Chains A and B, each alone.
Chain A
Amino acid sequence: MTRAGAGRRWSTGPARVERPWLDPRDLWTEALAGVLARPVRSALTTLGTVLGITTLVITIGVASTAGNQIVGRFDALTATSVTVTVPRTLPGQDDTGPLVDWSGTGAVRRLAGVESVAAVADSATTNSVQVRSNDVTAPGDTSGQTLGVVAASAGLPDAVRGAMTAGRFFDTGDIARRDQVAVLGDQAAELLGIRRVEDAPAIFFRGQSYTVIGILGGIRRERQLSTAVLLPPTTAADRLGLRDVTRVLVNTSLGAARQVARQAPIALAPGHEDALTVVAPPDLSKSRDGVQNDVNGLFLVLGLVSLVVGAIGIANVTLVTVMERVGEIGLRRALGASRRQVAAQFLLESTTIGLLGGVIGASLGIAVVVCVAVVKDWTPVLDLRLALGAPLAGALVGLLAGLYPSLRAARMEPADALRAPS
């Protein structure tokens, strides 16, 4: 042969060599046909991903729903209530005077975030007092009702979030004048048979009489006060010796409770704040995180394990499929498919299976979350990112699982592959 002749024809020969080409629509058609060719196998292959994604969606979905529910249960009342308890003064330590003065409520009221505050005083001796609504004792009559007698500052109705159902609460004027007036809790009024205060009913205990000027109802804090007789602190100190503040009730705006709980003892008893006991609502975010960490950690791990198992399943089945379709791979290569296009097809098939598992799993998970919420009478809380991200996570699992089988398919030599039965 003559090199010159060959060279001449090479130079004039048409250099019409193209690159392999594949329309994305054709790629999608081929991959989808591959998935649908063995529908049962594809469906079974998705199961692992379905389980994993379902578990993850349920875990995250139920957690966020329940988390929201926990906040709901710690309602505004609990979340904004701070109670400062003053220890009873021991007889030997009496010389320093009371730890907390009645005027201390004013100092607390000035703290940022405080909405209402009241001080109350009770004692063991005044916790059960025979109270009568009539001074005349008829033979055979019961000896009256056993009620608690409590001294309270003027701000009490707000502090216990109650409302006057009749009459009025005693005010600073009553307190200053040391009036012999009393306000009844609604239960106490019921027991004593007092429903109206217009005709100034009187109650009697410890040999003294008091005019009832109001009935306090709807008490939501310190509910025992609804069976109590409330007296102005000055009056109680004079007539019952009920001098020292035993509890200070503080209501804060939402979110200020923790801060107020730190500051209130200092405002009440500067220098002796450590002696006071403060009951404040638990830190909600911390408690919620605690619950979630315990419950979710386990389920998240379960879900992730399922996903890994699902990924292994997809990888396994895709590998089997690749090995079964060696002849087809050879054919596609003979028809002009590049290695990359063969890999892309199998990758797209495994990704489709993963995506399918993700969609089914997300749907199942969301359905379960909604069912749980309905059964528990909760409001389902579903993050849109979760609903959209779960199918994507499934697709990602499929993509990763398909990497190795696709590589195997791409590496096959077409001549060898064609020898396999199709």
Chain B
Amino acid sequence: MTPNPFYGPGPSLASCDAPDSPNAADSSDAVDSSDASAVIELTDVRRTFDSEPPVHALRRVSLTVRRGEHLAIVGPSGSGKSTLLNTLGLLDRPTSGSYRLDGVETTGLGDLERTALRGSRIGFVFQAFHLLPYRTVDENVMLAEAYRRPRPGRGRGTRLARAREALERVGLGHRSGFRPDRLSGGERQRVAIARALLGDPALLLCDEPTGNLDSENTVSVLELFEELCAQGVTLVVITHDEAVSRRAGRRVRITDGRLAEETG
């Protein structure tokens, strides 16, 4: 397998196998030592839900993810995983703290700007795939660019070609023109990954990507993740599945709203 030069080589292929990034859980070190290669920089992020009693879903969470890293966030349900995912995906706002995504401070941004940033920098992969059943896989992939201002060389005219290219990239070139209901679960998730890859996002954010898949399809999706990582895609996978997290170059565990780096 060779990195696809079109998508640009990752800054360090080594990060897939042996992440050499410093321990991001230690916040002040991470902030000061991080540079432009950081895709995610969470600093002292708290998220408290105003219920009775208040729920502290995230407590002083700090995390740095560098370009090309493959990070798994593991934790049992109720640990704050979903809140962390929503925060990372700009779907939720932290109560306090700072979140820089691809060099942009997001906590001060308005709803519209966060929406635009989400659309242009983050590719989402969901447990439930979230493919539109009444559209072909090509149209589903193309949807990723519908809400994005066309960039030079990525106009509307070439969108279909680039969608097919993304499908090729996830190994589904032969499924072009199919509707999602004719695909297996693994293939559907690959389509969703192709959609997330379209437009070359800074970050691929995966929420239990194998949660609805059998073991065979799980393996195929995980292999795809490794290929993508080798191509330099930054991957953050949130999962409770140990088998999935073991594949990642780096693991952090969230327990009761607190992050802890895991080794091995």
Chain A positions within 8 Å of B, measured between CB atoms, are: 1-2, 5-6, 9-10, 13-23, 25-26, 30, 33, 36-38, 327-328, 330-339, 341, 413-415, 418, 421-422
Contacts and interface: CB of A to CB of B under 8 A. Distances in A.
B264 to A, nearest CB: 28
A335 B119 contact: yes
A166 B120 CA distance: 98
B161 interface: no
Chain A to chain B: the 5 pairs with minimum beta-carbon distance, closest first: A336-B119, A37-B134, A336-B147, A21-B149, A415-B91
B105 A13 contact: yes
Chain B binding surface, main DSSP class:
mixed
19 contacts: A10-B105, A13-B104, A14-B104, A18-B113, A19-B113, A19-B149, A23-B150, A331-B124, A331-B126, A331-B130, A332-B143, A334-B118, A335-B146, A336-B116, A336-B147, A339-B111, A413-B91, A421-B128, A422-B132
Nearest to B43: A1
Given A15-B104, A30-B146, A415-B91, A20 B116 contact: yes
A422 B131 contact: yes
A384 to B, nearest CB: 37
A357 B150 CA distance: 35
Interface of B: 27-28, 31-32, 43-44, 86, 89, 91-92, 98, 100, 103-105, 109, 111-113, 115-120, 122, 124, 126, 128-135, 139, 143-144, 146-150, 156
Contacts of A21: 116, 147-150
B128 A327 contact: yes
Contacts of A9: 100
Contact of A6 (B43, B113, B117, B146): B43
A331 B207 CA distance: 13
A265 B91 CA distance: 89
B144 A335 contact: yes
Nearest to A333: B115
Contacts of B44: 1
A326 to B, nearest CB: 11
Contacts of B124: 331, 334-335
Contacts of B120: 18, 336
Contact of B116 (A19, A413, A421, A422): A19
Contacts of A33: 132, 134-135, 139
Contact of A336 (B109, B132, B148): B148
B112 to A, nearest CB: 6
B109 to A, nearest CB: 6
Nearest to B113: A17
B35 to A, nearest CB: 9
Contacts of A2: 28, 31-32
Contacts of B27: 1
Contacts of B134: 33, 36-38
A43 B100 CA distance: 48
Contacts of B104: 13-17
B115 A338 contact: yes
B132 A328 contact: yes
A37 B27 CA distance: 49
Contact of A330 (B130, B146, B148): B130
A341 B119 CA distance: 13
Given A17-B104, A22-B147, A334 B89 contact: yes
Contacts of A341: 147
B117 A17 contact: yes
A51 B146 CA distance: 36
Nearest to B140: A331
A1 B147 contact: no
Contacts of A422: 128-133
Given A17-B116, A331-B143, A337-B119, 9 more contacts: A1-B43, A2-B28, A6-B43, A6-B98, A21-B150, A332-B147, A336-B147, A336-B148, A337-B146
A414 B92 CA distance: 9
Contacts of B105: 10, 13
A33 B132 CA distance: 10
Nearest to A25: B156
A388 B59 CA distance: 62
A203 to B, nearest CB: 93
Given A14-B103, A327-B130, A331-B130, A337 B156 contact: no
A415 B119 contact: no
A289 to B, nearest CB: 52
A59 B89 CA distance: 56
A334 B113 CA distance: 13
Nearest to A1: B28
Contacts of B43: 1, 6
A61 to B, nearest CB: 38
A9 B100 CA distance: 10
Contacts of A14: 103-104
A420 to B, nearest CB: 9
Contacts of A15: 104
Contacts of A17: 104, 109, 113, 116-117
A339 B132 CA distance: 19
Contacts of A333: 91, 115
A3 B156 CA distance: 43
A214 B10 CA distance: 117
A20 B32 contact: no
A22 B144 CA distance: 11
B240 to A, nearest CB: 16
Contacts of B28: 1-2
Nearest to A416: B91
Nearest to A38: B134
Given A1-B44, A18-B120, A335 B91 contact: no
A11 B120 CA distance: 21
A417 to B, nearest CB: 9
A335 B147 contact: yes
A28 to B, nearest CB: 11
B143 to A, nearest CB: 6
A337 B130 contact: no
